[in-house]
Amino acid sequence: MLENGLIDEINSLKLKGYNYIDYNSLNTVGIKEVFDFLDGKLGRESMIEMIKQNTRRFAKRQMTWFRKDKNIKWIEINDDNFNMVPELIFSELYSALSQ
């Protein structure tokens, strides 16, 4: 995200008066940390570490939520079947629709 210009993008929003406190859509992983960096609340390295940490936390919450959904069919993907993923998905969908 940082290599693709996140800091410049957030700085542009900040200069237009946007912030993550007033606009919930800006309260996402990476955005708050960059605002805090631009406000001098975090150093660059701390910002990067916080983005990494909060990304891991978000991913963990997502996985917890997905695991609770009994309608999700997990497909094991590995080096041996990676090229067959579309066929595996189609097979699972066809099987589910046929029932």
Q: 21-79: per-residue pLDDT in tens?
A: 899 999 999 999 999 999 999 999 999 999 999 999 999 999 999 999 988 888 889 99
Beta-carbon neighbour count of residue 11 at 10 Å? 15
User: Which residue has tokens 């891991």?
Assistant: 56
Measured over the CA atoms of residue 26, residue 27, residue 29 and residue 32, the dihedral's sign is positive
Please name the amino acid found at residue 87.
E
Nearby residues of 89 by Cβ (< 8 Å), 6 or more positions away = 75
Nearby residues of 51 by Cβ (< 8 Å), 6 or more positions away = 1, 2, 29, 30, 33, 34
Q: What value does the mean pLDDT take over residues 6-26?
A: 94
The pTM (predicted TM-score) of the whole model is 0.72
- Sorted by where each begins, the domain ranges of the chain are 1-68, 71-99
Radius of gyration of the chain (CA): 20
73 DSSP assignment:
-
Confidence of residue 6 (pLDDT cuts 50, 70, 90): very high
CATH number of 1-68: 1.10.287.890
